[in-house]
Amino acid sequence: MSILQILEFPHPNLRKVATPVKVFDEELSGLIDDMLETMYDANGIGLAATQVDIHKRLIVLDVSEDRDNPKILVNPSFQIIKEDLAEYDEGCLSVPGFYETVCRPETILLKAQDKIGEVFELKAEGILSTCIQHEIDHLDGKLFVDYLSALKRNRIRNKLEKEQRKHS
Ligand code: GNR
Ligand code: NI
């Protein structure tokens, strides 16, 4: 297993749209293990393949308190089943150090495949719903900062670019 490098905003590859997973093989399970290790190492509750520069429709997440309940979502999609919006203070491993309130549909019905390609559905609300929507946005090249004002987004971008220059 290995810890993968996480791309940071405004890296252009975070804007790529991921393509569906078609083969459920050893290579996929190896990538899933690496993504889980990377997510736990970074103390994140979710990680999309896009964030580690792999442009496949694959997400790992774990919103459990004890961090012992990993979920794998391959080729995920969702329907909104309750239009009500819920507010969450969102953060992102690709936007380190910034937290902002984002509104998203409260309750969704997720449809995805597991690591062997079996289709499953899951009704999600609360932080699980928020996290799934945040991760699927990554697969479509979208970030939570896109929901903020241009002023806030540009401030975040400038601060992160400054940080990145220091460390490169
Ligand atoms: O670790 C994470 N925490 C988080 C908190 C609120 C809303 C979404 C998230 S996802 C984030 C990990 C991450 O960047 N996933 O893409
Ligand atoms: Ni994120």
Residue 2 and residue 40 in contact, taking contact as beta carbons nearer than 8 Å:
no
Average confidence score pLDDT of the chain: 98
Cα of 93 from ligand 2 centre, angstroms: 5
Cα of 91 from ligand 2 centre, angstroms: 7
Atom of ligand 1 nearest to the CA of 45: 1
Task: Tell me if 145 CB under 6 Å of ligand 1.
Answer: no
- The encoded tokens of residue 80 equal 């909104």
- The encoded tokens of residue 30 equal 């190896």
Q: What are phi and psi of 65, to 5 degrees?
A: -60, -45
Largest CA distance in the chain: 45
- The encoded tokens of residue 152 equal 């806030």
Reported as a pLDDT band with limits 50, 70 and 90, residue 91 is very high
d(CA 10, CA 156): 9
pLDDT value at position 82?
Answer: 84
Active site residue 37: no
pLDDT (tens digit per residue) in 99-146: 999 999 999 999 999 999 999 999 999 999 999 999 999 999 999 999
Residue 150 and residue 70 in contact, taking contact as beta carbons nearer than 8 Å:
no
d(CA 82, CA 68): 29
Share of the chain above pLDDT 90, in %: 97
> What is the pTM (predicted TM-score) of this model?
0.98
Which residue puts its alpha carbon closest to atom 16 of ligand 1? 47
Contacting residues for 83 by C-beta, under 8 A, at least 6 apart: 105
Residue 71 and residue 58 in contact, taking contact as beta carbons nearer than 8 Å:
no
Q: Which of 118, 135, 161, 163 is catalytic?
A: 135
pLDDT (tens digit per residue) in 135-166: 999 999 999 999 999 999 999 999 999 999 99
Which among 131, 140, 145 is the best mutation to test ligand 1's pocket, defined by most ligand atoms within 8 Å of the CB?
131
